[in-house]
């Protein structure tokens, strides 16, 4: 797992042809807007979250975010434990996000 600043996250994501953006916020948070093309899996779903993460392609690079960066950091740790090699946490999360968001 690697913590990336907003700038690092955006730059690395833009140059990554194997990238998947993962939003681990709640449904209510996602209703306020989501980063375009992000997959939404709520970390608060417990075992269901783990099951949905395990079903993802481990060969991809995951760019993970939440509201502030705390839950996405935990999600990256869980992903590492499940065998994902490349999980990148967005420091500051949506609170500091300056990029575009779309309606879910």
Per-residue pLDDT reduced to its tens digit, 20-78: 999 999 999 999 999 999 999 999 999 999 999 999 999 999 999 999 999 999 999 99
Residue 16 lies in a domain: yes
Long-range contacts formed by 2-8: CB under 8 A, 24+ apart: 2/87, 2/88, 2/89, 3/69, 3/73, 3/88, 3/89, 3/91, 4/88, 4/89, 4/90, 4/91, 5/91, 5/92, 6/90, 6/91, 6/92, 6/96, 6/97, 6/98, 6/99
Residue 22 lies in a domain: yes
Count of domains forming the chain: 1
Residue 62 lies in a domain: no
Residue 52 lies in a domain: yes
pLDDT for res 10: 93
pLDDT for res 104: 76
State the catalytic residue, choosing from 1, 20, 66, 79. Answer: 66
Residue 7 lies in a domain: yes
| CATH code of the domain covering residue 37 | 3.40.250.10
Look up the domain containing 52 and give its range.
Answer: 2-56+67-96
pLDDT for res 35: 95
Write out the two tokens for 45: 């779903």
Task: Decide if 76 is catalytic.
Answer: no
How many residues does the structure list for the chain? 104
Residue 102 lies in a domain: no
């Amino acid at each position: 797992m690697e913590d990336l600043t907003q700038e690092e996250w955006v730059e690395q994501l833009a140059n990554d042809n194997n990238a998947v953006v993962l939003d681990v916020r709640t449904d209510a948070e996602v209703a306020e807007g989501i980063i375009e093309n992000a997959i939404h899996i709520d970390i608060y779903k417990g075992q269901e979250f783990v099951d949905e993460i395990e079903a993802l392609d481990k060969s991809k690079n995951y760019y993970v975010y939440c509201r502030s960066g705390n839950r996405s950091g935990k999600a990256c740790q869980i992903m590492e434990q499940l065998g994902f090699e490349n999980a990148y946490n967005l420091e500051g999360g949506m609170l500091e996000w300056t990029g575009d968001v779309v309606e879910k």
